[in-house]
Structure 1
Amino acid sequence: MTSFYSIINYNRLKNLFVFLSLFALTYCAFSQEKVQDSTKVEKLDEVLVKAVRVDANAPITHSNVTKKQLAKRNLGQDIPMLLNYLPSVVTTSDAGAGIGYTGIRVRGVSSQSTNVTINGIPYNDAESLGTFWVNLGDFASSVESLQLQRGVGTSTNGSGAFGASINVLTDAVSTESNGEISNAFGSYNTRKHTLKFSTGLLNEHFEIAGRLSNVSSDGYIDRAATDLKSFFLQGSYVDDNTLIKAITFSGKEITYQSWNGLEDVDKLENDRTYNSAGEYKDDAGNKRFYDNEVDNYSQDHYQLHWNQRYNNQWSTTLGLNYTYGRGYFEQYKEDQKFNDYGFETLDFNGEVIDQTDLIRRRWLDNDFYVFNANVNYKDNQLDLIFGGSFSHYDGDHFGEVIWAEFASQSEIRDRYYDGNSLKNDLSVFSKAYYKLNDKLNLFGDLQVRTVNYKTYGTTSDLITFEIDKNFTFFNPKVGVSFKLNTQNNLYASYARANREPNRTDFESNEHIEPEQLNDFELGWRHKNGNFTFNANIYYMSYNEQLVLSGTLDDVGNPIRTNSGKSYRLGLELEAVIPVTSKLTLQPNMTISTNKNKETIILFDDKLQNLGKTDISFSPEVVAANAIVFQPIENLQIALLSKFVSEQYMSNTEANVSKLDGYFTNDFNVNYELFFSGDEASSPVFESVVFTGLVNNIFNVEYESNGYYYTYDDDWSNPGTIDTIEGAGFYPQATTNFLLGATLKF
C-alpha cells in the first residue's frame, strides 16, 4: 500500500513552492498597514463564488448548505451522501456505504449533467463531464458553504448545467488561530482521521490554514475497499479591500472495483454483497479473485484567487487553476484474444496460441488549466456582473499489459492502445439584477460558450478515434421576483442551456448530437418567523436530451443516447416547521412526470414504436424529512427519512429494468461539550464534539442504481434474431453506523 506521505512528492512540492512564491510576491506588493475589518473578510471570501451563485430572493430555485450543517453528518462519507436530503436529490454508492465511488442525480438528471465548481473553478472532468468525488476524500471538511441550484440555474463556468449545479466555497479566512483533531469509526472497518489548523490572521493580514485526512473503508460490497488520502492548504492575504488566496488540495484514491453490480437475481436476494470484479478460475478450475483489481488515481489542484474592491460600487475577481490528474485501473482478464492487444499469434510445437490470461492497466494522464475573470458593479438598484472563463484540457489515454501468460512479442511498458484528447472551452457572460422598485426585481443573464474537442489515436478497442468538433452555444436567462409583502415572494424564470456530448457519447456514436434545454420555473417563497415554505413548479423541455440508456461500457461508464424530444414536469415543496421551541420538522417532496415523447427501438430485429415512455432513472416521487429535536443548546437529535418511488433503468419501460421504490431512515445525534477555565488556567481543548450516525435503521434491503442491457441472440432460434434483456443492480448497505469525536482547540 502506498505510504500516506507519498502523495506529497517532489513535483507537488515544486508546484506548491511556485504557488507560494507567487503568493509571497503579491503579499509584499499589497502589504500596507491597515486596520482589519473582520466583517469584510467573509464578504470578500463570498466574492469568490458570487459570479456563479444567487442570493435568497433571486428567481432561481436553489438550496444553501453551510459548514455547520455539513458537520452534523460529516463522518467520512462523500459530499453526495451529505446532500441526500435536499429536494429532488437521489444518491447512490457503488460500494454501498457512501464512501468511494458515489453519485448524485437531481430531478432525475445524471451527475454528468450536474455542473460542479470549486471557488468558481470547473471541477467536472472535461471529457466525461462527470464528477468524481472519490478524488476529493474528506473534502467536506474544507467546505465553507455550497449552493445547489436546481434546473439550469445561473450561468456558470465549465460544462452546462442540465439538472443542477453545485458550487462549492472552500474554507473562509479565520481571524483567530484554531485547530481540530477529528476521528471516526464505524461499520465495514470504516475510519476517518482528520487534522485541521489555522494560524488566524498574522500581522492582521496573513493566514495559513490546512487539513490532512485519511478515510478508509472495506465497503458493504465484498472487497469494495477504499483508501482515500488527501490534504488542503491555503495561504491568504486580506485587508479592507483585498483578498488573495493561494490554495492547493490533493487526493489519492485506491479503490477496489465494484462497478459490475449484481446481475444474478438469486444473488441479489441471497448474497447481496457478492462482487464479481476480479473473479477468475485457476488452472485447477477453482474460483479465485485477483487481489489488485483496483482503481488507483491521484489528482492535484492549484488555485490562485485575487479579489479586489475598489470602492463601494466596483470590484474584480481573478482566478487561476492548474489540475494534474493521473492514474489507472487494473484488471485481471481471462482468455483474451491476441488481436485485441496487437499481439502476434504464437506457434508452440505446432500448437497455435492466440489467447492468453493477462493483467492490464488502463491509464489517464491529464492537465487542466483554467482562467476566470469577473467585474462587478453594484449600487442600490443594480447588481451587474461581467465575466468569462477559459479552460484547456490535455489528456492522454493509454493501456499497458503488465503481465501475460503468453506475452507474444510484447515488451514491458508497451502501449497496446494510445490516444490523446484536447479540449478548449471559452465562455463569456453578463448577468444583472435590477431593483425596479421596493417590490419588483428583474434578472437577466446572457452567456456565449464555445467548445472545441479533438481526439487522436485509438480507443481501448484498438479502433481509430479521431474527433474534431466545434460547438457554439448561446444561453439566455431571464427572471422576475415580486415581493408581495414581508412574508411572501413570488418568482418566475426562463433559462436556455446547451451541452456538448462527452467522450463516451462519441465513442458509442460519432454522430451524436448536443442536447438543448428550455427550463421554466415558477415559485413561491414564504417566511413567517422561523416557519418557511417554498413551492416551485418546473417544466424542463428537452431536444435531443442525452439520457442514460441504462447500459454500461466495459469500464463501467454509463452510455447515453439522444432521446429526441422529452420533458420533465414537476412540483417541488419544502418547509421548515417549528413545532415547539425544541422540535422542528423539515420536510420536502418532489412529484414529477418525466417522459420521452416518442421512443422507437430496434427489438427482435424489428423497429418498434413504444410511444411515450418514462425517462430512465427518473422516479415520480422523491421525498425527505428531518425531525430535529434539540432538548438543550448543545445537543441535537435527528431522524432523517428518505423515500424514492420506483423507476426504470431503461427508456423502454422494460420490466427487467425496474428499480423498486424504497424508504430508508437514518438516526443522527450531535453533542458538543465545552471546556472552561479560570484566569489561572486554560484548558487544552475548547470543546469536543461527539457525533453518531446510524444509517438505514430499519435494515431495508434496497438498490438505488443499476443498469440495463440488451444483445441480439441469433443462434437459439435459427432464422430469427431474438433480443436478450438483462439488468444489473447496486445493492446499498443495510443497517450500519458511524461514530466520531472532534477535538477543537
Structure 2
Amino acid sequence: MKLGILSGALLFITATSRAQTPTASDTTTALPEVTVTYRAAARTPVTFLNLSGRALAARNVGQEPSFLLTETPAVTAYSDAGSTQGYAYFRLRGIDQTRINTTLDGVPLNEPEDQGAYFSNYPDLFTSLSGLQLQRGVGTTQNGAASYGGSLQLFSASLLDSARATLGGGYGSFGSYRLFGEVASGRRGRVAGYARASQVHSNGYKDRSANTSRSVYLSGGLFYDKTHWKLSVLAGQQRNQLAWLGVPDSVLRKNRRANANGPENDLFRQALVQLQNQWRPTAHAEVSTSVYASGLRGGYDFDLNNFLGFPSTNEMYRYDFRSGLLGAFSTFTHQTRRFTWSVGGNLSTYQRRHLGSERTTGELYRNTGYKREGSAFGKLEYQAGLLTLFTDVQARAVRFRYAGDVPLAPLSWQFINPKAGLSLALTDRTTLYYSWGRTGREPTRNDLFGGNDNLSVDEDGQVLLYSTRAEYVQDHELGLRYQSPRLEGSVNTYYMDFRNEIVLNGKLGPNGLALTDNVERSYRSGVEATVRYQLTPRFSLLNNSAFNYSRIREQAETFRPVLTPAVLLNQEAAYATGPWQLALTGRYQSHSYLDFANSATVAGYVLLNARAQYAWRQWEFTLFGNNLTNARYFNTGYVEADGTRKYFVQAPANIYLDVKLRL
C-alpha cells in the first residue's frame, strides 16, 4: 500500500469524524479504556521508570527504540549498521535483550524460541504508544518470557484521546528519512478508532548497510457501560543489507565504514492481532481478557566463505523462517480502598519452521521447533496506613519439542517465581521501598544448539546439546522515590545473585546470534538514579545515572561479565520559551570487556547531542544534532578464537530534521 494513498485515507477519515455532530452518548459515563494490570503503581515496591507518550514523541523520529531507551538508567544499545535504523539491540544492567521481557498491551513480543524482541519488524512502533514502563530487576509478573533482567511494557495509543490527525516527515544524514501519518477519531458515541502508517529508510553508516521498512497500526473499540472491546492489528515489513559481523580494528583504522559482511540481504514480514475485553461486573471487580496471534515469514542470506575468512564465491546460503504464535491471557482483579487482589493466567502455543538452503544446491535441511507455555499468578497489594505490603507468585511451565532429521526427546522446565516487598510513605512526597524476587528462565534454542540452526550429532552419534539447564536469580531492590512540583527523582540499589547464569561469552555463532556459556556463580549489583529538577519555569535539568559492580566466579577465577560498563551517565539541560524548546544532552559510558579473560575492551566514550524545536501554528519543526563532538567510538564487539578483536562502529556527527503537521 502506497504511503501517500493511506495518508489521504487518514485525512478523509479525520475530516469525516470532525464533521460529525457528537451524540448524547458521548457524555455518558463508561469504563476507561482496556487496562493492563501488570503495571507498577507509585507505591508498588519495585524499581521502574515511566515514559509518557509526549516524552517519547519529543525524541522519536522513527529510530530503533533501543536508542530511545538509552536515556533511562542502566541501558546500553548498539546497531549493526552504525546508524539508528535497522537492527539494533539494548541491554539492561549488562543483561542482553533475550532475558528482558517485552510486551505490548500485555501481549508477549519476545520470540518464544530465542526470546528476543525484534523491534525492527515493527518500525516506528513508538509513534503509536501512549507510554511505556521499564522495570529493572525481576519486577512484577509478566506474560511470556521471564523478566530476568527486567521488563519493558509498551502501551498502545489511547482510543479515548480527542480527535487528531498528524502528517510527518523527516530527513537526515546517511540518506535517512521517515514518512508517517496517523489519525484518531476520538470517541464517537460508542466507537473509536486509530490508524497509523509509516515508512522508514536509511542507507546506514557502514558501507552497504541500508534498511527500508514500513508498518501499519490499526485499532478500534466499542464502549459500553460495563464492558468494552478493543481490536488491534500491527504489521510490519523490513529489508536490510546485513552488517551483523564485527569489523577487525586493523581494518577500521583504514576505513571506519567497512562492512565485514558479504553481499547478504534479508526480508521479514510480521503481523500481530489482539482482541481485548474489559468487563466490570461490580464496582470493585474487573476481568481483563485478551486473545492474540502473530505470524512471521522471512529469511536472510549467509555468506559462509566470508564468515570463515575466505574470499566470497557464488556460493550463498539462506536461513528461512515461518512461525506462528497463538495465545490468550486473562486477569481478575478485586480492588477496594486498601486491598487489591489479582489472579490470572496465560497460555500460548508456538511453532517455527527453519529451512536452510544454498543458492545452487537447493534445500539442505528443514526442521521445526514447537514451544508451549502456561503460567498462572496471584498478586496481593494491601495498604495499612503508610505501609504497603506486596506479594506476587507465578507458576510457569514450558515445553520445547524439536522435529528434524536428528531425534530429540522433548525438553521441559517448571518454575515457581515468588516476589514480595513493602513500601513506606515517609511523607506525602517520599516513598521508601524494598523488594525481593526470585525467577528462573529456560535456555533459548540458540543456547541449546550452540548457535547452530539445525541440530547435529557428534562422532559417536550423540545429540550435540550445549546449555540445557535453567538459570535462576534472586533480586534484592532497595529504593527511595520523591516527587514535588519542582523536583522529582528516585534512587535505588540492587543486588542480583545468579545460579547457573547463561551469559554472553563475547562470540558470535554461524547464525549471527551471540553465543553464551553457563557460569556457576555470578552477581550484579549497583546504584541507579533519576532526577528531574525544574530550576526555573523555563529551565530544567534531567539526570540518569547507573553504577554497576558485577562479577562472575568460575572455578578459581573471578572476572567481569562482558559488555557491562561500570558507569553510565546521562545529563540533559532543557530550555523552553514561547515557540522554542532547546535541549542539550550528554552521555558518558565507561569501558567494558569483550571476553571472559577481561583482556579485550571497548573504550569508554562521551557523546553530546542537541535538539531544537520550533512550533508555528499547526507546524512543528525539530532539528536533531547527534554526536556533535564527532567522537570515534564503538560500543560493542567480540574476540575471535585467534584473538582478533572485532568491533561495531557507531556513527560520527550527524543531523536530522523532523517536520510534523497537526490537522
The two structures have a TM-score, normalised by structure 1, of: 0.82
Q: What is the alpha-carbon distance in structure 1 between the residues aligned to residue 611 and residue 69 of structure 2?
A: 14
Q: What is the alpha-carbon distance in structure 1 between the residues aligned to residue 482 and residue 307 of structure 2?
A: 63
For 1:572, the equivalent position in structure 2 comes to 528
Q: Which moved more, 1:355-364 or 1:298-307?
A: 355-364
For 1:110, the equivalent position in structure 2 comes to 96
CA contact 2:33–2:160 (8 Å) conserved in 1:
no
Q: What is the alpha-carbon distance in structure 2 between the residues aligned to residue 96 and residue 40 of structure 1?
A: 48
Gaps of 5+ in 1: 9-32, 279-289, 338-354, 408-413, 459-463, 601-608, 675-686, 711-723
Q: Determine if the alignment matches structure 1 residue 391 to structure 2 residue 348.
A: yes
Q: What is the alpha-carbon distance in structure 1 between the residues aligned to residue 156 and residue 407 of structure 2?
A: 38
Residue 467 to residue 695, structure 1, CA distance change in 2 (3 Å): farther
User: Deviations for 1:8-45, whole angstroms, at most 9, x for unmatched residues?
Assistant: 9xxxxxxxxxxxxxxxxxxxxxxxx984458866x434
Q: What is the alpha-carbon distance in structure 1 between the residues aligned to residue 146 and residue 318 of structure 2?
A: 32
Q: Which residue of the other structure, out of 630, 637, 642, is the alignment partner of 1:699?
A: 630
Residue 725 to residue 426, structure 1, CA distance change in 2 (3 Å): same
For 2:653, the equivalent position in structure 1 comes to 735
CA contact 2:486–2:535 (8 Å) conserved in 1:
no
Q: Determine if the alignment matches structure 1 residue 519 to structure 2 residue 467.
A: no
For 1:65, the equivalent position in structure 2 comes to 51
For 1:365, the equivalent position in structure 2 comes to 322
Deviation at 1:627, TM superposition (A): 0.7
For 1:442, the equivalent position in structure 2 comes to 389
> Quick one: which amino acid aligns to residue 533 of structure 1?
G
For 1:418, the equivalent position in structure 2 comes to 366
Deviation at 1:335, TM superposition (A): 9.6
Q: Determine if the alignment matches structure 1 residue 159 to structure 2 residue 107.
A: no
Q: Which moved more, 1:504-513 or 1:328-337?
A: 328-337
Residue 211 to residue 153, structure 1, CA distance change in 2 (3 Å): same
For 1:549, the equivalent position in structure 2 comes to 505
Deviation at 1:192, TM superposition (A): 0.2
For 1:341, the equivalent position in structure 2 comes to none
For 1:150, the equivalent position in structure 2 comes to 136
Q: What is the alpha-carbon distance in structure 2 between the residues aligned to residue 40 and residue 616 of structure 1?
A: 51
> Quick one: which amino acid aligns to residue 568 of structure 2?
V
Q: What is the alpha-carbon distance in structure 1 between the residues aligned to residue 467 and residue 589 of structure 2?
A: 35
User: Deviations for 1:700-745, whole angstroms, at most 9, x for unmatched residues?
Assistant: 01111112232xxxxxxxxxxxxx3222110000111111111111
Task: Kindly report the root-mean-square deviation, in angstroms, between the aligned alpha carbons of the 2 structures.
Answer: 2.1
**Structure 1 stretches of 4+ moved >4 Å:** 36-41, 332-337
Q: Determine if the alignment matches structure 1 residue 483 to structure 2 residue 425.
A: yes
For 1:305, the equivalent position in structure 2 comes to 276
> Quick one: which amino acid aligns to residue 650 of structure 1?
D
Higher-Rg structure is 1
Q: What is the alpha-carbon distance in structure 1 between the residues aligned to residue 140 and residue 325 of structure 2?
A: 24
Q: What is the alpha-carbon distance in structure 2 between the residues aligned to residue 39 and residue 253 of structure 1?
A: 42
CA contact 2:472–2:499 (8 Å) conserved in 1:
yes
> Quick one: which amino acid aligns to residue 641 of structure 1?
G
SS in 2 for 1:103: strand
Q: What is the alpha-carbon distance in structure 2 between the residues aligned to residue 40 and residue 93 of structure 1?
A: 44
Q: What is the alpha-carbon distance in structure 2 between the residues aligned to residue 423 and residue 257 of structure 1?
A: 28
The two structures have a TM-score, normalised by structure 2, of: 0.92
User: Deviations for 1:649-701, whole angstroms, at most 9, x for unmatched residues?
Assistant: 22221x2x211111111101222223xxxxxxxxxxxx212112111111001
Q: What is the alpha-carbon distance in structure 2 between the residues aligned to residue 335 and residue 629 of structure 1?
A: 50
For 1:595, the equivalent position in structure 2 comes to 551
For 1:637, the equivalent position in structure 2 comes to 582
> Quick one: which amino acid aligns to residue 330 of structure 2?
A
Q: What is the alpha-carbon distance in structure 1 between the residues aligned to residue 497 and residue 609 of structure 2?
A: 35
For 1:662, the equivalent position in structure 2 comes to 605
Q: Which residue of the other structure, out of 368, 388, 411, is the alignment partner of 1:469?
A: 411
CA contact 2:261–2:306 (8 Å) conserved in 1:
no
Q: Determine if the alignment matches structure 1 residue 85 to structure 2 residue 71.
A: yes
> Quick one: which amino acid aligns to residue 226 of structure 2?
N
Q: What is the alpha-carbon distance in structure 2 between the residues aligned to residue 159 and residue 336 of structure 1?
A: 31
For 1:75, the equivalent position in structure 2 comes to 61
CA contact 1:36–1:240 (8 Å) conserved in 2:
no
Residue 336 to residue 615, structure 1, CA distance change in 2 (3 Å): closer
Deviation at 1:133, TM superposition (A): 0.9
CA contact 1:370–1:390 (8 Å) conserved in 2:
yes
Q: Determine if the alignment matches structure 1 residue 245 to structure 2 residue 230.
A: yes
Deviation at 1:637, TM superposition (A): 0.9
Deviation at 1:4, TM superposition (A): 5.3
Report percent identity of matched pairs.
27
CA contact 2:388–2:424 (8 Å) conserved in 1:
yes
Q: Which residue of the other structure, out of 241, 247, 250, is the alignment partner of 1:266?
A: 250
SS in 2 for 1:44: coil
Deviation at 1:84, TM superposition (A): 1.3
Deviation at 1:511, TM superposition (A): 4.7
User: Deviations for 1:462-518, whole angstroms, at most 9, x for unmatched residues?
Assistant: xx3735211110000001000111122100000111000001100024353111000
Q: What is the alpha-carbon distance in structure 2 between the residues aligned to residue 364 and residue 507 of structure 1?
A: 17
CA contact 1:576–1:585 (8 Å) conserved in 2:
yes
Q: Which residue of the other structure, out of 11, 26, 33, is the alignment partner of 1:44?
A: 33
Q: What is the alpha-carbon distance in structure 2 between the residues aligned to residue 546 and residue 38 of structure 1?
A: 53
CA contact 2:196–2:217 (8 Å) conserved in 1:
yes
CA contact 2:338–2:382 (8 Å) conserved in 1:
yes
Q: What is the alpha-carbon distance in structure 1 between the residues aligned to residue 545 and residue 414 of structure 2?
A: 37
